[in-house]
């Protein structure tokens, strides 16, 4: 048995030189030219019958682009968003959740917990001291205690802020 290598489709019509659109059906033929086999692709409109010297032919479909996985905003946008959230006391929980995401993604260094007051402060004054090493920026993020429902709502809000498709 002999093996033959056939090139991949270039997704362009052999006759009209038009590029096939996503989802479009087209015909492919393997044609003998001398001692080699050449692949030729044809749009439905340009296909009448298989070309001379055709060894085999089939119909294919150009894949459609599926929506891509959402991508996280660039680091400078994440850090600017964190700064903005830290400036607004009503957004402290959202800032804390973003801070955890940045730690997980290793954008900020591992936190060191510190107390704001030296005389037995209340638990809600616990703060994370974080650093973005490449820019040498420090962040002081108050620790927030979130219940599951609240964290799911905040996570949804954060996803809308920071993720985009493409």
pTM of the shown model: 0.51
Q: Looking at the structure, do residues 37 and 53 belong to the same domain, yes or no?
A: yes
Q: How many domains does the chain have?
A: 2
Q: Looking at the structure, do residues 46 and 83 belong to the same domain, yes or no?
A: no
Q: Looking at the structure, do residues 123 and 62 belong to the same domain, yes or no?
A: no
Q: Looking at the structure, do residues 120 and 59 belong to the same domain, yes or no?
A: no
Task: Mark which of 66, 93, 119 sits at the end of a domain.
Answer: 66
- CA dist., res. 77 & res. 151, Å (int): 22
Angle, helices 92-104/148-162, rounded to nearest 10 degrees: 70
- CA dist., res. 130 & res. 102, Å (int): 10
The three-state secondary structure class of 159 is helix
Q: Looking at the structure, do residues 141 and 160 belong to the same domain, yes or no?
A: yes
Instruction: Please report, in tens digits, the pLDDT of each residue of the chain (166 residues total).
Output: 777 788 889 899 999 999 999 999 999 999 998 888 999 999 999 999 999 999 999 999 998 877 777 777 888 888 998 999 999 988 888 888 888 888 888 888 865 555 555 555 455 568 888 888 888 888 888 888 878 888 788 888 888 777 765 5
Q: Looking at the structure, do residues 78 and 160 belong to the same domain, yes or no?
A: yes
Q: Looking at the structure, do residues 48 and 99 belong to the same domain, yes or no?
A: no
Q: Looking at the structure, do residues 132 and 151 belong to the same domain, yes or no?
A: yes
* Residue ranges making up the domain that contains 58: 1-66
Q: Looking at the structure, do residues 35 and 92 belong to the same domain, yes or no?
A: no
C-alpha 128 chain-centroid distance: 29
Q: Looking at the structure, do residues 58 and 121 belong to the same domain, yes or no?
A: no
Task: Mark which of 21, 37, 66 sits at the end of a domain.
Answer: 66
Q: Looking at the structure, do residues 6 and 81 belong to the same domain, yes or no?
A: no
Q: Looking at the structure, do residues 139 and 90 belong to the same domain, yes or no?
A: yes
Task: Mark which of 18, 40, 66 sits at the end of a domain.
Answer: 66
């Amino acid at each position: 048995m002999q093996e033959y290598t056939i090139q991949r489709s270039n997704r362009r019509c052999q006759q009209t030189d038009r590029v096939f659109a996503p989802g479009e059906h087209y015909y492919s033929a393997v044609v003998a030219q001398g001692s080699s086999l050449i692949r030729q692709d044809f749009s439905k409109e340009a296909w009448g019958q298989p070309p001379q010297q055709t060894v085999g032919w089939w119909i294919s479909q150009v894949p459609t682009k599926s929506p891509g996985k959402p991508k996280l905003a660039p680091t400078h946008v994440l850090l600017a968003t964190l700064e903005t959230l830290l400036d607004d006391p009503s957004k402290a929980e959202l800032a804390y959740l973003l801070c955890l995401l940045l730690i997980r993604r290793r954008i900020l260094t591992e936190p060191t917990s510190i107390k704001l007051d030296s005389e037995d402060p209340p638990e809600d004054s616990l703060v994370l001291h974080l650093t973005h090493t490449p820019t040498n920026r420090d962040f002081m993020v108050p620790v927030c205690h979130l219940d599951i429902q609240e964290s799911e709502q905040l996570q949804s809000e954060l996803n809308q802020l920071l993720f985009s498709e493409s």
